[in-house]
Structure 1
Amino acid sequence: MSDDGRQGLTIIAFIGSVFSPYYAWSAERDPFAHCAMNVVLYGARSRFAMTERRADSLSRDADYIAIGPSAMHWDGTALTIRIDERGSPLPHRLRGVVRLEPPGFTAGPFHLDRAGRHRWWPMAPSSRVEVAFDQPGLRWNGSAYFDTNDGDEALADAFTRWTWCRADLPDGAAILYDVQHRDGGGQNLSLRFNRDGSRREIRPPTAAALPATRLWRMPRETRSDDGRARVLTTYENTPFYARSLLASTLCGEPVRAMHESLSLDRFRNPLVQLMLPFRMPRPPVRPVDSAAHR
C-alpha cells in the first residue's frame, strides 16, 4: 500500500495455481504445468493479470523464479520483481519493477491444518516497497507484506473458508488468520511482529461483523480490539473471494488493515469454475512446425 493510501499492489507467484480451473480439471495434477504470475494494481489505474503458463515457461533456482516474461530475484538484501504481463479480460499491458526490502524475517512457518499439509510463513510482515511501472505510468513508495504458502493437497479439500487481515503498527505489524477446517473446527491465529521479524505477544481480538459485498454477497468478518470494524474500500468482489481495506483497532492502535475473505465452497461451484477462465487465460499450445525438423 502506498504511503498516501491511494495506490495498492498485489503480486503472487504460483506454482500449481490453487485457484486455476485448468488445474482442477487436469487429470495429471502436475503443479509445474499450471504456473502464473498474478499482478493486481489498485487505485486510479487498476489492472489485473493472471495468465496461466505451462512448465516450459517456468525457470527457478534458490534465489530466482521466472514465469513467462516476469521474474523475481532475491539478492540477499531485497526482492526485485520485474513484471511484463497483459491484463484480463481487458488486455492492458503491465510492465514495471517492484523492489521490496525486508528489515528482517520471522522464525518460520505455521501449520493451518491439523495434519500439517498446509503451511504458511509470513516471512517479512513489515517491509518497505518501491514501485515503478512504465505501463501504466506509476511511481510510489509504501509499506509491504511478504509471505509464502505451500501445501500437499487442494485447498478446498482441507478448508471451507478463511479470513486474513494484516495491519501496519508503529513498531511492526499485526496479522489475523482465521480458517475453518472441512472436517470441523478451525484455527484462529493472532500474531504481532516487530519490524525485524521478532514475535510479540498479542491479546486475541474479538469478533467484528462486516457487511457482505455488493452484487455477489460474499460474507466478510474480522476481529478487532473493541469488536468493531468498517469497510473503507472493496478492491476485489468476486463470487468466492473479496479483498477489502478496513478501519479498525488492533493492539490499542487505530489501523487501516488489508483484509481478504475466501469461500472454498463457493469456489467449488461448477458455475464459478466456468467463469474463471475470463480472468485467468491460458494460452493454447503452439503447434509444432514439422518442416523445422526435416
Structure 2
Amino acid sequence: MSEDGEHGLTLIAFIGSVFSPYYAWDPARDPFDHCALNVVLYGRPGRFCMTERGRAALARDADHIRIGPSAMEWDGTALTIRIDEVTAPIPRRVRGTVRLHPPGFTRGPFTLDAAGDHRWWPMAPSSPVEVRLDEPALAWRGTAYFDTNDGDTALEDSFTSWTWCRADMPDGAAILYDVRRRDGSGQNLSLRFDRAGARRDIRPPLPAALPPTGLWRIPRATRSDDGHARVLRTFEDTPFYARSLLASTLGGEPVQAVHESLSLARFRNPIVRLMLPFRMPRRAASH
C-alpha cells in the first residue's frame, strides 16, 4: 500500500498456478508447465494481469526467477521485480519496477494442515517498497508484505476456506490467519513481528463479523481486540475470492489491515473454473 493509502499493488509469482483451470484440467499436473506472474494494481488506474505460461517461459536459480518477460531478483539486500505484463480481457500493458527492502526475516514456515502438506512463511511482514511504473505512469512509496507458500496437494483438497489479514503496526506488523480444513478442523494464527522479523506475543483477538461482498456475496470475517471491524474498501470481489481494506484495533492500536477471504468450496465449482480463462489467459510460448 502507498503511504497516502490511494494505491495498492499485489504481486504473486506462481510455479504451479493453484487457481489455474488449465492446471486443474492437465492430466500430467506438471507445475512447471503452469506458471504466472499475477499483477493487480488497485486505485486509479486499476489493472489485473495473470497470463499463464508453459515451462519454456520459466527460468530460475537461487536468487532469480523469470516467468516470460517478467522477473524477480534478490541481490542480498533488496528484491527487485521487473514487470512486463498485459491485462485481460481488454489488453493494456503493465510495465515497470518494484523494489522491496526487507529489514530482516522471520523464522521458518508454519504448516497449515495436519498432514504438513501446505506451508506458509511470512518472511518479511513489513518492508519499505518503491513502485515505479512506466505503464501506467505511476510512482509511489509505501510498506509491503512479503511471503511464500508451497504445497504438495491441491488447496481445494485440503481446505474449505480461509481468511487472512495483515496490518502495519508502529514497530512492525500483525497477521491473522484463520484456516478451515476439509476434515472440519481449523487453525487460527495470531502473529506479531517487529521490523527485523522477531516474533512478539500478541493476545488472540476476538471474532469480528463483516458483511459479505456486494456482488458475489463472499463471506468475510476477521478478529480484533474489541470484536469490531469495518470494511473501508473492497479491492476485489470475485466468485471465490475477496480482498478488502479494513479498519480495526490490534495490539491496542487502531490499524488499517489488508484482508482476504478465500472460498475453496466455491472454487471447486466447475462453473466457476470455466469463468476463469476470461481473466486468466494461457500462452504456451516463452513470451
* TM tier, smaller: over 0.9
Measured after TM superposition, the shift of residue 284 of structure 1 is 5.4
Q: Distance in 1 between the 2:178 and 2:89 partners?
A: 31
Moved over 4 A (4+): none
Q: Structure 1 unaligned segments of length 5 or more: list them.
A: 287-294
Q: In the alignment, what sits opposite 1:84?
A: 84
Secondary structure of the residue aligned to 1:56 is helix
> For each residue in 1:239-260, what CA deviation from the matched residue of structure 2 results, as whole angstroms up to 9, or x when unmatched?
1000000000000000000000
Q: Distance in 2 between the 1:88 and 1:146 partners?
A: 25
Secondary structure of the residue aligned to 2:44 is coil
How do 1:212-223 and structure 2 match up within 5 A?
Answer: 212-223=212-223
Q: In the alignment, what sits opposite 2:179?
A: 179
Q: Distance in 1 between the 2:94 and 2:216 partners?
A: 27
Measured after TM superposition, the shift of residue 283 of structure 1 is 2.3
Q: Which is worse superposed, 277-286 or 4-13? A: 277-286
Instruction: Say how many residue pairs are matched.
Output: 286
Letter in 2 for 1:122: P
Letter in 2 for 1:271: I
Q: In the alignment, what sits opposite 2:132?
A: 132
Q: Distance in 1 between the 2:89 and 2:116 partners?
A: 37
Normalising by structure 2, report the TM-score: 0.99
Q: Distance in 2 between the 1:284 and 1:68 partners?
A: 10
Q: In the alignment, what sits opposite 1:190?
A: 190
How do 1:15-34 and structure 2 match up within 5 A?
Answer: 15-34=15-34
Q: In the alignment, what sits opposite 1:2?
A: 2
Q: Does 1:64 align with 2:58?
A: no
Equivalent pair of 2:57/2:285 in contact (CA under 8 Å): no
Letter in 2 for 1:34: H
> For each residue in 1:115-173, what CA deviation from the matched residue of structure 2 results, as whole angstroms up to 9, or x when unmatched?
10000000000101000000000000000000000000000000000000000000000
Letter in 1 for 2:148: T
Q: Distance in 1 between the 2:180 and 2:146 partners?
A: 23
Equivalent pair of 2:10/2:39 in contact (CA under 8 Å): yes
Q: In the alignment, what sits opposite 2:245?
A: 245
Q: In the alignment, what sits opposite 1:276?
A: 276
Q: Distance in 2 between the 1:88 and 1:227 partners?
A: 39
Q: Distance in 1 between the 2:236 and 2:90 partners?
A: 16
Equivalent pair of 2:106/2:199 in contact (CA under 8 Å): yes
Measured after TM superposition, the shift of residue 90 of structure 1 is 1.6
Equivalent pair of 2:166/2:174 in contact (CA under 8 Å): yes
Measured after TM superposition, the shift of residue 285 of structure 1 is 6.0
Equivalent pair of 2:54/2:284 in contact (CA under 8 Å): no
Equivalent pair of 2:211/2:220 in contact (CA under 8 Å): yes
Secondary structure of the residue aligned to 1:176 is strand
- Calculate percent identity across the aligned residue pairs: 74
> For each residue in 1:5-54, what CA deviation from the matched residue of structure 2 results, as whole angstroms up to 9, or x when unmatched?
00000000000000000000010000000000000000011000000000
